[in-house]
Amino acid sequence: MIESFDAVDLIRAKRDGETLSTPQLDWLIDAYTRGVVGDEQMAAWAMAVYLRGMEPREIRDLTLAMIASGERMDYGDLRKPTVDKHSTGGVGDKITLPLAPLVAVFGVAVPQLSGRGLGHTGGTLDKLESIPGWRAALTNEEFLAQLETVGAVVAAAGSGLAPADRKLYALRDTTGTVECIPLIASSIMSKKIAEGTASLVLDVKFGSGAFLPDPEAGRRLAETMVQLGKDAGVATVALQTNMQTPLGHAIGNGNEVRESVEVLAGGGPADVVELTLALAREMLDLGGKPDADPAAALADGRAMDVWRRMIAAQGGDPDAPLPTAPESETVVAERGGVLVAQPALPYGIAAWRLGAGRARKEDPVSHSAGIDLHVKIGEPVTKGQPLFTMRTEDPARFGRAREALDGAWTIADPGTPVEDGGPLLRDVIR
């Protein structure tokens, strides 16, 4: 039986910078999940946390309380080690698509419960639903069976996992309390721990297109989440990676699937391949396969074979053509030189305005809309050379997309410093 408290007392305590006890946090989350604590009270408490912060023990208790609000998946009967991956999101971040089948090649199961995009960050499920016939909703039995036979599954999380987080996340989105490390960390980790994986690799972004652009804030989030995983018995590693510029050449849904398939075929953009391999090596190490060679599995087609089986197992046709937008507009260079700045955020916003993203969770997305980059930062360009192509189903969308991209690239003389945010991989937090 959970001890009872008064919501206003807990709001005042946190407002005044006090530390809440384990029983207090257990009660608050349980009462909010059951509707005893109202949205207006939880919004006040979340703002108090945003302003006052939380101690590490409080963050751990909050996370565990959100896990306890629902079911927890169990892979005890699975005859393979399980390793999951989570990214804090960015522009052109399609890494889950080639990564999950690549890791599964080596007998390490990847149970990936993913989400949909909101705003400028794309959702993995939206990308995969570009594939004709592919379905995101699986029963627990289907999910476990695919893990056993294929070794990788990407699906929508059921309503039973961390329902408290689902309520609190929606509230934070409308009350200006999203960018709060204790609430971000507990939200992400409550879902990931409830998914039941034995180990977890986190991809925590920084830079223009990241959820937390500041590298130091990103590092604090990474350290907090790694500790939460360890406290819950989940071996957790975080890679801090650069999202100052878009990842790869494709930004959207169907075009990101196309680029992922290029990676699985042994090609694709160098930055996408580099990050896929870096995450795969960490996942394989946690899964007990430290000597595995993921680069070889991309080169020889084994990862592609698992991808095809993974897509087909969820009703998709891996050979079906991906959707193509009927309207396109290409922007060309007005001068020659070197592309020295290409901040990710404006491209993410433009792709969203073209129809690739949504403003509200219930909005539909266009699987054919998006942007294809023809030049990446640091590359030479000539006058009149295509820089990028925008694609949409509705030509009326081009105007607002162009507005988002105003000043979103800089061409300068050779030798001008490049504003790329540094190397792709900044740090590893264990």
Active site (catalytic) residues: 86, 165, 172, 187, 191
Packing angle, helices 302-313 and 96-104, rounded to 10: 110
Closest CA to 126 of 371, 355, 321, 390: 355
Alpha helices in 265-343 (DSSP H): 270-286, 294-299, 302-313
Closest CA to 385 of 370, 400, 373, 402: 373
Strand partners, 85: 201
Kindly state the tokens that stand for 215: 């590298």
Output DSSP code: residue 71.
B
The residue written with tokens 């069976």 in the block is: 145
The residue written with tokens 């599954």 in the block is: 153
- Which residues are CB-neighbours of 7 under 8 A, at least 6 positions away? 28, 31, 37, 38, 41, 45
> What is the chain's length?
430
Indicate the pairing of strand 83-87 with strand 199-206: parallel
Closest CA to 219 of 206, 232, 234: 206
